[in-house]
Amino acid sequence: MKLAFEINDELDLTDEIPSLLNNISTLVLALPHLQKATNMNSDVMINAGYFLSGVIDDIAEAVSQYAEKKLAEKKEEEQK
């Protein structure tokens, strides 16, 4: 599964990304309590961890691509 995050402007970067990361953090903190309350097996916990890790990686990639795009635009403006 591949999630796609697209950052179009600074508002996305400053408003949506921190909120998304806070929600992921809450899920990570809740997983051990969920496992204990529901007797969930460890394979499910491992899969949830991999999923959340993938989400964080996709967010990091989107932020990196946005930064590269902005740097390229800035260089292009400076060359004019």
> Domain boundaries in the chain?
10-74
Residue matched to tokens 């998304």: 20
Distance between CA atoms of residues 54 and 19, nearest Å? 17
Instruction: Please count the other Cβ atoms lying within 10 Å of the Cβ belonging to residue 13.
Output: 16
Task: Answer whether 71's CB lies under 8 Å from 18's CB.
Answer: no
What pLDDT was estimated at residue 2? 57
Percent of the chain whose pLDDT exceeds 70: 92
Q: What is the pLDDT of residues 29-46, one digit of tens each?
A: 888 888 888 888 888 888
Task: Answer whether 20's CB lies under 8 Å from 76's CB.
Answer: no
Nearest-10 crossing angle of helices 17-38, 42-79: 170
Task: Answer whether 35's CB lies under 8 Å from 29's CB.
Answer: no
